[in-house]
Amino acid sequence: GAVVSQHPSRVICKSGTSVKIECRSLDFQATTMFWYRQFPKQSLMLMATSNEGSKATYEQGVEKDKFLINHASLTLSTLTVTSAHPEDSSFYICSARRSGLPNEQYFGPGTRLTVT
Partner 1 sequence: QQPVQSPQAVILREGEDAVINCSSSKALYSVHWYRQKHGEAPVFLMILLKGGEQKGHEKISASFNEKKQQSSLYLTASQLSYSGTYFCGTVNNQGGKLIFGQGTELSVKP
Q: Residues in the site for partner 1, rule: CB under 8 A?
A: 34, 36, 42-46, 49, 93, 95, 102-110, 112
72/101 with CB nearer partner 1: 101
84/97 with CB nearer partner 1: 97
10/14 with CB nearer partner 1: 10
36/67 with CB nearer partner 1: 36
Whole-number Cα distances in Å, 48 to 13, 55, 93, 99, 113:
23, 10, 11, 18, 17
Angle 77-80-82 from CA coordinates, rounded to 5°: 165
- C-alpha closest to that of 106 among 97, 23, 71: 97
Q: How far is the CB of 83 from partner 1 (least distance, A)?
A: 26
C-alpha to C-alpha distance for 88 and 20, rounded to whole angstroms:
13
SS3 83: coil
